[in-house]
Each structure stands twice: as C-alpha cells, then as structure tokens.
Amino acid sequence: MTKTVLRAVLVTMLLAPGAARAQTPRTDATGPFRFELEEAPPTHRGRGVEGYVYNDSPWRITNVRLRVETIDSSGTITGETSGWVVGDVRAGGRGYFFVPVSSPATTYRATVQSFDKVGLEVRTEAP
C-alpha cells in the first residue's frame, strides 16, 4: 500500500463512530470499528455503558482507548468520558469494555480515540 492509502485507512479508523441508544444494544457498520453498547445496570462499579468494539481491520490491536459521549433527546452532547477495552482485539474479533458515566442519557456514542497495532493478521480458510 502507498503512504497515502495507509494514512487514509488510519484516519478512517480513528474517526469512525458507533452509536447506541440507552438500554438498546445496536451495531453501526461505519469504518473498521463497530460498537455494540448499552447502559449497564447499576452495580458496585457505578453507572456505566458496556459493550463490545468490533475490529474489522486486518490488524490485531491493543491499548484501545474509547470516548463515550452522552447525548440528550435534542441531540446535544451532555457529557464525555473515556475508558479502555479489555486486552487485545484480534483482526475480525471483538473486545469488551465498561466505561463509567456520570448520568443517564437518551443516547450514547462511542469512538476509538487511540490504539496500538500489535501485528498484521492473515486470515486463512480451511481447505
């Protein structure tokens, strides 16, 4: 790949958002990262949003940092918080996250803020 194509892929990976309504898991297929998230029931961890980030890139990634925005019924962002995905996320795989939020919202929107590439993974098919 050329440097221009690699830059375009990286920009797309960093800017691709996913969204979900409170209490309703949903997956948006935009870019190499998709999200399935919902408001978690209150526990000893407090109020939060939990779910999975799906890695549709060809790279195993790690140190995945997320930003979760809380959005009210008029579409206004009312809060923002960050959290981490647990462990590595293989190419074509998914990783779990729980991100604390300070108050409930009508909608939550997650984006990948940053990540580190572990290595390119080649998918092989059985004969």
Give the residue, 59 or 23, on which the prediction is more confident: 59
Cβ 33 vs Cβ 16: under 8 Å? yes
Residue of 89 and 18 predicted with greater confidence: 89
- Among candidates 48, 39, 25, 32, which has minimal Cα distance to 93? 32
Question: What value does the mean pLDDT take over residues 60-87?
Answer: 96
**CATH fold of the domain at 3-120:** Immunoglobulin-like (2.60.40)
pTM over 0.85: no
Domain ranges of the chain: 3-120
